[in-house]
Structure 1
């Protein structure tokens, strides 16, 4: 640590000698200036704010002791002093002790003696600096503790606070809070960076809040542009966290720090609207949303029923359409973020249960990303929740389709054998689906994939194939054959026969 020292002497040669023959840098000092009398010294001390002043005692216009007396009398910043005097001026040294000055250099100044005395002074200054630092830390921690209590204060509360808090409040004309929310994994890094950014700012305090959020409480004087400090901090945020999940909101200002709870409440309200804003680094203020209001009533039954129906039918397009339509509705209302999350989590739970029931251990591949506690603490906006839900649905449908494909390889043969045995009856896809516990739409898709034609078309093929065989036997009338193969209406039999054979049943019989 290096301390600033000011040299004062009316003899130019003495000043030059002190600068040349004393290794100030090695001793932990930096000469910040020089002057030639006490009157000039008072002015330079006010301008340069040195930590140590080494001054001659006997000088024209104003002596060194007069200068020290004037400085201390006016309650200025505490400065350490070391006086320079000759043997014949011992009375000056004794008088200096009344001002708390204990460091005394004899003229002519010897470098070795000066160095020894300056080491003692450096040690004292270092100790004072450490004590001052600890005092400031303790004072700051006390202020932060009291400010946290203010955030818990209810409007209209008559709670009493220490005078130090009122004094701090009066130091600025306006107060506000900036809320910063991020992912739990990023919180420690963001907090450290924030602490560094506000360290050099005045009337600005870092407050740790619940979970993964923190607050910057800042005071400013609007007419003097003292809100520049928070602007600098937020500008740095925009650069550092561009595109990352860091959400920032500013509340409505209050004239008194004691009303900080109102600032916090309005900042929280503004923070919620970032749920619909995909631009993470942007700052949202309460002033921009104070006339907007959330809806809190929403029944998730339609969303859950339609999405689950699409899932069970392995209808990815229908699933996307349902979820996207509801997300658009959320935006239009707009629906309060906590209600949106509750609805989406409800759907995810239903999907999770269905996957576990359908796939058992195989479901873990899709479910691994559903850490509901992490999702609840996340700062993800609606766009990211929508993307997660859509991709989750796609994965579920893909896994269910693969499982159905594996199962269908065994069951489709059984179904086809059943159809061959019962095609003469009034067989329908619905009856077949009920018998094999499959959804009619899925069963139709399964048979189409296996047989190359739809269910109805294949049943007609089997019937006409059998009819052709019976016609060649020439033992029954055409109408009887039609009835035997499953047609209750002869005209329908005729239509299907001509479609497949290119001729009527009579022509087929005569030709063969």
Structure 2
């Protein structure tokens, strides 16, 4: 809604204009009235108004003087519509010098008022869209230069870091809920709006703020002030931004070395990674986290977990993990070191129990690539360890020879259906990883190869004993795609299905 201020000294005229049309229907909100120019000017200095409709002849301050004062004193200038009679047209022409280009003649006509307002609304909305696009373009240019500084250490003049009289603080937080944003432009518009809002709120504190956005979904805020004692105001602003963007935490510190913004950025990123991994929240000064240890001394961790798995002491495994992470937090081990150590430990466990199929699962990839918090990270590790424990349990539960004969019989009865090692495992209530390992050991080949060989053998029999078409045979043995069937057939037999059939026919005729 565009906000309108109506300035008219005659009460009945003022009330008549207000009731003349449905203002909200046309996108306007008649927020306030004034009986003269002086009252109107005081309102404009306190409130944001989009449109002023003013009479020319009024006591205290007339319309011409009001328009002049608006052009000189009001920063966010509203559009102005003057109300004039035929004998006041010379006054109306004088108002043009101050940027007025809309006027209404008395008595005011409903249709003319609506047309004027629609024209003004179109102009204002177009101007706003132009300003929005221009501001966004300038922000994108500025953010692009900033990215090149922090990520590639390029020398760009985003901030005047040569000015030794300016104190600077940098805060970094991470936006976890990426669905909150539709795209990068929405991200930038949101940050631009927050930048404007925080600067407006803290303008009287002598602090200026710039918001940036890096390639890793981190929000970087640079605060500049000429006064060292503005730290409290800076922290308050960081809290405001943190709440606006729904960030878990923001790590900040004073930026003193004007030649190394790139290094300072990476220093804060490490601190932020630590804070988020250990689920710290709020505004955190970097020195509260301290320096990191660069390695983990515990060399028995893997063997102790292996022993607990063999003894089926699942609760103790989780307690061991929790204890390990608590020790890491006390010693300030960085999340990157922890992730690497845990991956090596899991590989040690996988190698010990020979469960190499786990390497193909998504669990290890999530641990390796993710920035999960400690509690979720422990959950993922436990999921993998539980899979290992289940494998050990099932390896003692099933007799390999008799069990695999049942599996073989099931496959031969269902080879032409859409079966997988997982679906067979579900049929026999067994872990698919363990079944895959048992299958390979028993048949000396992986399940997929065995299934193809079985299907191709059946296809060879049908080619010899029937006159069915190739696509019919393909479908009958379990291949919906005839081309794929032909490809696998040639891979196993050395010739295409049609050539194989022809060669058999020639041998019979001979």
8 Å contact 2:174–2:250 — kept in the other structure? Answer: yes
Q: What is the RMSD of the two structures over their aligned residues, measured on CA atoms?
A: 4.2
Q: Of 158, 161, 170, which aligns to 1:176? A: 170
Q: Of 388, 398, 401, which aligns to 1:396? A: 388
Distance 1:265 1:101, change over 3 A: same
CA distance in 1: counterparts of 2:320 and 2:5, whole angstroms: 77
| Equivalence for 1:252 | 253
8 Å contact 2:45–2:74 — kept in the other structure? Answer: no
> Is 2:180 the partner of 1:189?
yes
Pairs within 5 Å for 1:141-152: 141-152=140-151
| Equivalence for 2:265 | 264
1:377-408 Cα offsets, whole Å, 9 max, x none, are: 32334555455445533432442343245459
CA distance in 1: counterparts of 2:30 and 2:257, whole angstroms: 43
Pairs within 5 Å for 1:26-37: 26-37=25-36
Q: CA deviation at 1:328?
A: 5.9
Distance 1:225 1:343, change over 3 A: closer
CA distance in 1: counterparts of 2:17 and 2:63, whole angstroms: 17
Distance 1:94 1:342, change over 3 A: same
| Equivalence for 2:346 | 348
| Equivalence for 1:476 | none
Distance 1:367 1:190, change over 3 A: farther
8 Å contact 1:32–1:48 — kept in the other structure? Answer: no
Unaligned segments of structure 2, at least 5 residues:
200-208, 403-510
1:224-269 Cα offsets, whole Å, 9 max, x none, are: 84644432454577xx7xxxxx853312144899986576344323
The worse-fitting range, judged by mean Cα deviation, of 387-396 and 315-324 is 315-324
SS for the counterpart of 1:33 is strand
CA distance in 1: counterparts of 2:287 and 2:299, whole angstroms: 35
Query: What is the number of residues matched between the two proteins?
Result: 380
Q: CA deviation at 1:345?
A: 0.7
CA distance in 2: counterparts of 1:106 and 1:29, whole angstroms: 20
Pairs within 5 Å for 1:185-264: 186-189=177-180, 199-200=193-194, 201-203=197-199, 207-211=212-216, 213-217=217-221, 219=223, 222=230, 225=233, 227-235=235-243, 248-254=249-255, 261=262, 264=265
8 Å contact 1:4–1:51 — kept in the other structure? Answer: yes
CA distance in 1: counterparts of 2:44 and 2:168, whole angstroms: 33
CA distance in 1: counterparts of 2:384 and 2:121, whole angstroms: 66
SS for the counterpart of 2:75 is coil
CA distance in 1: counterparts of 2:16 and 2:167, whole angstroms: 51
SS for the counterpart of 2:198 is coil
1:160-180 Cα offsets, whole Å, 9 max, x none, are: 416xx559x99x975432322
Larger Rg: 1
Q: CA deviation at 1:79?
A: 1.6
Pairs within 5 Å for 1:105-504: 105-152=104-151, 159-161=155-157, 165-166=159-160, 174-180=168-174, 182=176, 186-189=177-180, 199-200=193-194, 201-203=197-199, 207-211=212-216, 213-217=217-221, 219=223, 222=230, 225=233, 227-235=235-243, 248-254=249-255, 261=262, 264-274=265-275, 277=278, 279=279, 281=281, 284-289=284-289, 292-298=290-296, 302-304=300-302, 307=305, 310=307, 314-317=310-313, 320=317, 327=325, 330-355=328-353, 358=354, 364=357, 370-382=362-374, 384-386=376-378, 388-390=380-382, 392-406=384-398
| Equivalence for 1:46 | 45
CA distance in 1: counterparts of 2:114 and 2:81, whole angstroms: 13
CA distance in 1: counterparts of 2:145 and 2:134, whole angstroms: 17
Pairs within 5 Å for 1:20-31: 20-31=19-30
Q: CA deviation at 1:3?
A: 1.0
8 Å contact 1:296–1:335 — kept in the other structure? Answer: yes
In the superposition, the TM-score normalised over structure 2's length comes to 0.62
Distance 1:325 1:138, change over 3 A: closer
In the superposition, the TM-score normalised over structure 1's length comes to 0.61
Unaligned segments of structure 1, at least 5 residues:
241-245, 411-512
| Equivalence for 1:81 | 80
CA distance in 2: counterparts of 1:391 and 1:63, whole angstroms: 78
Distance 1:34 1:406, change over 3 A: closer
1:339-390 Cα offsets, whole Å, 9 max, x none, are: 22212111222333444xx46xxx64x6665533321232334555455445
CA distance in 2: counterparts of 1:109 and 1:255, whole angstroms: 64
